[in-house]
Amino acid sequence: MRKKIVAGNWKMNKSLQDGVTLAKEVEAAVSGINNGVDVIIAPPFIHLTEVKKVISKVKLSAQNCASEASGAYTGEVAADMLKSAGVGYVIIGHSERRSYYKESDEILNKKVKLALANGLTPIFCIGELLPEREANKHFDVVKDQITKGLFDLSETDFKNIVLAYEPVWAIGTGKTASAAQAQEIHAFIRSLIVAKYGKAVAEDTSILYGGSCNDKNAKELFANPDVDGGLIGGAALKADQFAVIVSSF
Ligand code: 13P
């Protein structure tokens, strides 16, 4: 049975002190929820070690990692450093990294491999832009992203991937994909995994939805058979709202 996951991507928000406070609030708010959902938070890099000290049920993710293992790469944080700090997951390929920092499929593929080699679980993001959706190209776009980013992995490695479908037009816009739109493309993504790795692997792969998912719409989105949880931005910065999303299964 694949895991149900709700992950909060804090993006570039919160001072260290406010981040630790939020992490404590999230831990308290979700500690009583026993619906089998894995709860993950992804604070900025410098928060990770302090946040790690105040969470136990909640798991820890980074928002990015370097595409090289170590050395002269000023400003970068390596996958093995994250592992040594007690981090379990890393978001790779978020649309904000793809668009603002020009991270190509090739770079993201290198990051995925380094994350896996260091025992981190990648939360690999895919999703189309608005013009691509309007041109009915969203299936081709996600197929291309997943093929170039992930499909040269061995089956053993692929089993450690969590996918997040985030339509770029829904991120931070208040415009959510409808439950039907989410189900349609999640089922398509799962069919790609069936074709590449077989039905058993595909059935075990968690595919999260992200993009203006909140305490009001999570229940309807998560009710779809191929939506295994959410990658939450804005609503992850409020512990009470985030907890409602966690309890939406
Ligand atoms: P919002 O929930 O703010 O739309 O952000 C989604 C997202 O990008 C999560 O990674």
> Per residue in 159-203, pLDDT tens?
999 999 999 999 999 888 899 999 999 999 999 999 999 999 999
Q: How confident is the model at residue 53 (pLDDT cuts 50, 70, 90)?
A: very high
Residue range 4-246 forms a domain whose CATH class is: alpha beta
The residue among 124, 215, 211 whose CA lies nearest residue 162 is: 124
166 an active-site residue? yes
Q: Whose CA is nearest to atom 2 of ligand 1?
A: 233
pLDDT tens digits for range 126-135: 999 999 999 9
| Distance of alpha carbon 149 from alpha carbon 87, whole angstroms | 22
Is the pLDDT assigned to residue 55 strictly greater than 90?
Answer: yes
Give the ligand 1 atom nearest the CA of 164. 10
Q: How confident is the model at residue 157 (pLDDT cuts 50, 70, 90)?
A: very high
Tokens of 218: 């999570």
List, in order, residues 6 or more apart from 21 with CB less than 8 Å away: none
- For residue 162, give the DSSP letter: E
pLDDT for res 1: 82
Distance of CA 142 to the CA centre of its chain: 15
pLDDT for res 4: 98
Neighbours of 238 (CB within 10 A): 18
Residue by residue, DSSP assigns 23-76 as HHHHHHHHTT--SSEEEEEE--GGGHHHHHTT-SSSEEEES---SSSSSS-TT-
The best mutation among 41, 171, 216 to test binding of ligand 1, ranked by most ligand atoms within 8 Å of the C-beta, falls on 171
pLDDT for res 247: 98
pLDDT for res 137: 97
pLDDT tens digits for range 8-35: 999 999 999 999 999 999 999 999 999 9
| CB distance 80 to ligand 1 below 6 Å | no
Is the pLDDT assigned to residue 68 strictly greater than 90?
Answer: yes
The residue among 73, 74, 72, 94 whose CA lies nearest residue 172 is: 94
Of 27, 47, 94, 138, the active-site residue reads 94
- What distance in angstroms lies between residue 129's CA and the mean position of ligand 1's atoms? 14
